[in-house]
Structures are given as C-alpha cells and as structure tokens.
A and B are shown apart, each in its own frame.
Chain A
Amino acid sequence: GAVVSQHPSWVICKSGTSVKIECRSLDFQATTMFWYRQFPKQSLMLMATSNEGSKATYEQGVEKDKFLINHASLTLSTLTVTSAHPEDSSFYICSLYLQGSLQTQYFGPGTRLLVL
C-alpha cells in the first residue's frame, strides 16, 4: 500500500500566526489529495480537494483564504492555516487518493494543531 507522511505531527502556536502542514506521498504519484479536519470527539470532515498543478477546491463553509492549499508537485501538498485562532485547533489529516484500487484512500498520520 501507499505511505503518506505528514509534518509536523504536533504544532503549538500563538493566535494570529500562520502554520504550514506538509503532506507527502512517499511511493505513489499523488495527483489528488484530500484534507480533512477532526475536532475532538467528532468525525472527520472533508475540507478541500488538493489537485496537482491547479487550484484546490473547497467544501462548503471552508474559507479558502484562511486554509491555503498548494499542490505544486506530485508528491507534496501543503495546507497553511493563516492567522490561526483557537477555534482552528484541531486534528488535520491528509489522504492520498488512488482511484480504481482496492483501497482508494491512504491517510497520513495527522497533525495536531493547538492555537493558544
């Protein structure tokens, strides 16, 4: 199966700062990756679709200017939380999409963000 890494695994930052989270596909080309967010004791919610070489598409209610996604290569997608606030504290998880395979989704280990 595919291996997806995320960096950093943990980040604590002050309110108002920006945080960049990297998601790497280590052994498959990733034309499409997805970003999810999970608040404590809740389910995962899709935030956006990251497309290599084009603009990301965002789910309803997700601010595209706040959550900047860049997918400049076939192995790396980045999510930048701009001007983070305490309500942005969450578990951010990316996934690699392999269409047509028995397992279509491979999740990264996630990044826990705590905004003070």
Chain B
Amino acid sequence: GQQVMQIPQYQHVQEGEDFTTYCNSSTTLSNIQWYKQRPGGHPVFLIQLVKSGEVKKQKRLTFQFGEAKKNSSLHITATQTTDVGTYFCATDSWGKLQFGAGTQVVVTP
C-alpha cells in the first residue's frame, strides 16, 4: 500500500514562531488529509487536498499538495500554545487511512 513519510518527528517551537511539517510519498497520492491530535485526544480532521498544486488556508494554517501529488506540507504561522499536539498526514484509499508517523509539536511560551 501507499506509504507516507512524515518529518520532523518532533518540533519544539517558541510561541510566535512559524513551523512546517512535511509528508512525502514515493508514489502518487490521490489525496492527502491532515489531522490534529491533542494529548489524550482523538484525531480531528483538518483538511483534505486532492488537486495537484492545491493550496488551502485555514487562518494561520496553510496546507499544500505538491504538483506531482507526492508530497504535502502544513505550515503554521505565529504559533500559539493552542497549537500543541501531534499533526498527522494520511492518505485515504476507499476509506482506509494510512497515517504518517506524525509531528509532535511542543510550544514554549
């Protein structure tokens, strides 16, 4: 099946700074989804990208899908303490989600 590699595994960010997490695949993806999981919680859907080169924004979050549909990124600007959690990318194949390893984000005030 399709595998998505996600980096970095950990991200320590000072409040107010920006950071980016990346997902890469060796094969072309039909879609990429992003989730946020707070400590102790369940994954919460953020967005789905399906088009080559697609860029979507949600307030301080910017999601991109690469032109070749083999990579994706999530960029967060002006990080806040509420951004703490683990961010996962995932690809959906007929409902089955294959998750990346996740980027655990720690925010220091």
User: Does chain A have a CB within 8 A of B22?
Assistant: no
In residues 88-109 of chain B, which contact A (Cβ within 8 Å)?
88, 92, 95-102
Asked whether A108 and B95 contact (CB < 8 A) given A43-B102, A102-B48, A103-B48, the answer is no
Q: What residues of B have a CB within 8 angstroms of the CB of A102 in the complex?
A: 48
User: Does chain B have a CB within 8 A of A107?
Assistant: yes
> Judging by beta carbons under 8 Å apart, are B42 and A49 in contact?
no
CA distance A24 to B48 in the complex (A): 24
**Chain B interface residue count: which class?**
10 to 19
Residue of A nearest to B98 (CB): A46
Q: What residues of A have a CB within 8 angstroms of the CB of B98 in the complex?
A: 46
CA distance A97 to B95 in the complex (A): 6
Asked whether A43 and B88 contact (CB < 8 A) given A93-B42, A102-B48, the answer is yes
> Judging by beta carbons under 8 Å apart, are A44 and B45 in contact?
no
> Judging by beta carbons under 8 Å apart, are B97 and A46 in contact?
yes
Q: Name which of B33, B48, B96, B102 has the most chain A CB atoms within 10 A of its CB.
A: B96
Q: What residues of A have a CB within 8 angstroms of the CB of B102 in the complex?
A: 43
> Judging by beta carbons under 8 Å apart, are A109 and B97 in contact?
no
User: Does chain A have a CB within 8 A of B43?
Assistant: yes
> Judging by beta carbons under 8 Å apart, are B42 and A107 in contact?
yes
CA distance A32 to B33 in the complex (A): 19
Q: Nearest chain B CB to A24's CB is how many angstroms away?
A: 14
Q: What residues of B have a CB within 8 angstroms of the CB of A34 in the complex?
A: 95-97
CA distance A31 to B99 in the complex (A): 22
A-contact bits for B61-102, CB 8 A (1 contact / 0 none) = 000000000000000000000000000100010011111111
In residues 50-106 of chain A, which contact B (Cβ within 8 Å)?
93, 95, 97, 99, 102-106
Q: What residues of A have a CB within 8 angstroms of the CB of B44 in the complex?
A: 107
> Judging by beta carbons under 8 Å apart, are A32 and B43 in contact?
no
- B interface residues (Cβ-Cβ under 8 A, vs A): 33, 41-45, 48, 88, 92, 95-102
16 sample A-B contacts, Cβ–Cβ < 8 Å, listed by A number: A32-B95, A36-B97, A43-B99, A44-B43, A44-B97, A45-B99, A46-B98, A93-B43, A97-B95, A103-B45, A104-B33, A104-B92, A104-B95, A107-B42, A107-B43, A109-B42
